[in-house]
Each structure stands twice: as C-alpha cells, then as structure tokens.
Amino acid sequence: MSTMTTMTVAQLLAAAAAQGVERLDAQLLLLHLLGRPSGDRAWLLAHDSDALDDDLPARFAQLCSRRIAGEPVAYLLGEKEFHGLGLQVDARVLVPRPDTETLVDWALDCMQGRVAPAVIDLGTGSGAIALAIRHARADARVTAVDRSADALAVARINAQRLKLDVRFAEADWLAGADTGFDLIVSNPPYVAAGDPHLAALQHEPLGALVSGPDGLDDIRCIVDRAPAHLVDGGWLLLEHGWDQAEAVRTLLAARGFVQVQSRDDLAGIARCSGGIWRTVK
Ligand code: GLN
C-alpha cells in the first residue's frame, strides 16, 4: 500500500476553504503548483476529480497556511498582473494594486499629443507604473527611481523579462534627477504611521507604505521639488490615500500647480491627484 497522500482537485480546494482560504486564492495557488497559467481556472473545474499525489497536497497545504498568515497571494505566486503586464514580485516590493492602473491611465492621457515625452516614476518598486507606461507608449523616454536597491533589482528583472527600455536609478525622490520632464508620476508611501490598516500589510515593505504621522511627508516633499524638474505645461500625478485627495490638492495648489484635480479608483474613491506646472503664468 502506498503511503503517498492522494487527493482530488475538489478535495484540495475543499480543504483550503475549510482552512479559510478564499476560493479564488486557493484556485490560483493550486494552478501555480500545477504549472498552469492563472487564467486556467476552467481547467480546475473540468478536472475536479483528478487525483493529485506526490508532494503536491503537502505543498498546497503549506501555501494555504502562508496565505492564512497574511502573505499576499502575489508573493506566493511570485507574480502579479498589472495593466496587462505579468510582473515578477516578491517581498522586496509592494504588490502592485489594480487601483494604481487609474494612475497609469491618467498618465497616458496626459501624454497624448506629446512626442517622445520624458517621464519619471518616483518610488517605482516592482517597476509597475514605469513599465506599463513604456509598454503603452513605445516612444516615451521613461526613467524610474527608487531609494531601495532591493526594489530596483526587482524592477530591472521585470524590464528585462518584458524587454521594455526604462532607465533605472537609485535615488531619493528627485535628488539628482534631470530637469525637463513632461510628466512626473508617483505612487509614494502614504499611510500614516500607526494606521491600524498596516496590520493587514505586514508582509510588504514598510518603507513603501508609511510616510510620517499623517502619511503625507513624502507627498509634501515631491510636490515641493517637482516644479524644478518639469517643463512648462508638465504634469505631476500622485496616488494617495482614500481620505487624502483634498489635502493633496491643497498642497498642489499652494505650490502653484494649475488645473489641480483628482481621479477616482475602481471603487469610486478619489485616489489620485495632480496638476500642471506653468513656468509662464
Ligand atoms: N494602497 C496601499 C494600501 O493601502 C498603500 C500603498 C502606498 O502606500 N503607496 O493598501
């Protein structure tokens, strides 16, 4: 008699559900272990009585336990889809959020009508924003910076795998950056230190999340320094917290940006704010 544990697809998914793993998460983890693409959920349904043995049930149980302990699915899979791109991610970078696609779409709108626009992504992390922009606009000259060498290593791997030409630099926001950008875009840390929401984000890099007592330290710094690096008519676009739109618009207007406005995320919450810099007023 074999001592191997044999379980069917349906049994494995039922065990995961009993552990408290969400159905979609469990399906993605199982497809990952089977070496199948994440779009293959229909395959699981069609094969729910297939028996899986060897060490697969044990490896699946292990991933489920890590998920229950709060690790993002993206880290367990080692990848995350963002704006149509498959990005490699791990604990060195914040997991790209679907809401940030709003920022990319807005950035692309701002680039319309500009030929070979110069763009810089501040705090690029996995490279998500910079790579999505470069992918959508092959003529854009895209720079991406991060103060974390660890994060930049991940971003560089993503650029290489996706064959997208982005220039990377290790820098603290705009320190040492060129001038003359058509667009500065950033999803900086914006969570207030001590925010109870941080407990749910404990597996992600704190440096990518927290920004002083009100969460606005980095945004204040970027708003203050951006004008020196923008062309006349250049845009600054920032992602921020669900309750920070008014504060960020006030900062932008006070610094002298015009056409200051916000855009909603997928949940209808004003999640990004930006404005245009005019050198000739
Ligand atoms: N959107 C993230 C969250 O609150 C925070 C990302 C960030 O600070 N830039 O889950």
Whole-number Å distance, alpha carbon 13 to ligand 1 midpoint, is: 30
Whole-number Å distance, alpha carbon 190 to ligand 1 midpoint, is: 7
The 10s digit of each residue's pLDDT in 143-152 is 999 999 999 9
Question: In percent, how much of the chain has pLDDT > 70?
Answer: 98
Is any atom of ligand 1 closer than 6 Å to the C-beta of 137? no
Whole-number Å distance, alpha carbon 209 to ligand 1 midpoint, is: 6
Q: What is the pLDDT of residue 2?
A: 47
**Atom 5 in ligand 1: which residue has the minimum CA distance?**
209
Is any atom of ligand 1 closer than 6 Å to the C-beta of 240? no
Mean pLDDT across the stretch 98-117? 97
Mean pLDDT across the stretch 18-42? 94
Mean pLDDT across the stretch 98-125? 97
Nearest of 89, 99, 28, 46 to residue 266 by alpha carbon: 99
Is any atom of ligand 1 closer than 6 Å to the C-beta of 190? yes
Q: Which domains does the chain have, with CATH numbers?
A: 7-69 (no CATH), 94-277 (3.40.50.150)
The 10s digit of each residue's pLDDT in 239-266 is 999 999 999 999 999 999 999 999 999 8
Cα separation, 15 vs 8, in Å, equals: 11
* pLDDT class of 4 with cuts at 50, 70, 90: low
Residue 117, token pair as written in the block? 């626009």
Q: What is the pLDDT of residue 1?
A: 42
**Atom 10 in ligand 1: which residue has the minimum CA distance?**
201
Q: What is the pLDDT of residue 220?
A: 98
* pLDDT class of 61 with cuts at 50, 70, 90: very high
Is any atom of ligand 1 closer than 6 Å to the C-beta of 187? yes
What ranges in the chain are assigned the alpha helix state H? 9-19, 23-33, 41-46, 56-68, 73-77, 100-111, 128-136, 149-162, 217-225, 245-255
Cα separation, 237 vs 254, in Å, equals: 15
Mean pLDDT across the stretch 16-20? 95
Q: Which atom of ligand 1 is nearest to the CA of 215?
A: 8
pLDDT surpassing 80 at residue 23: yes
* pLDDT class of 87 with cuts at 50, 70, 90: very high
Q: Which atom of ligand 1 is nearest to the CA of 211?
A: 8
Cβ–Cβ < 8 Å for 186, 225: no
The 10s digit of each residue's pLDDT in 172-186 is 999 999 999 999 999
Q: What is the dihedral of CA 187, 234, 165, 265, to 10 degrees?
A: 30
Mean pLDDT across the stretch 37-48? 91
Whole-number Å distance, alpha carbon 108 to ligand 1 midpoint, is: 21
CA atoms within 13 A on the CB side of 212: 9
Q: Which atom of ligand 1 is nearest to the CA of 197?
A: 4
Average pLDDT of the chain is: 95
pTM given for the model: 0.94
Is any atom of ligand 1 closer than 6 Å to the C-beta of 189? yes
Is any atom of ligand 1 closer than 6 Å to the C-beta of 191? yes
| From 82, 89, 93, 94, mutation site for ligand 1 pocket: most ligand atoms within 8 A of C-beta | 94
pLDDT surpassing 80 at residue 280: no
Is any atom of ligand 1 closer than 6 Å to the C-beta of 126? no
Cα separation, 122 vs 132, in Å, equals: 14
68's CB contacts (< 8 A; 6+ apart) are 19, 20, 21
Q: At CA 37, angle to CA 31 and CA 42, rounded to 5?
A: 70
Q: What is the pLDDT of residue 30?
A: 96
Tokens 């009585």 -> residue? 49
Is any atom of ligand 1 closer than 6 Å to the C-beta of 125? no
* pLDDT class of 5 with cuts at 50, 70, 90: confident
pLDDT surpassing 80 at residue 3: no
171's CB contacts (< 8 A; 6+ apart) are 145, 146, 147, 177
The 10s digit of each residue's pLDDT in 192-231 is 999 999 999 999 999 999 999 999 999 999 999 999 999 9
Terminal alpha carbon distance of the chain = 84
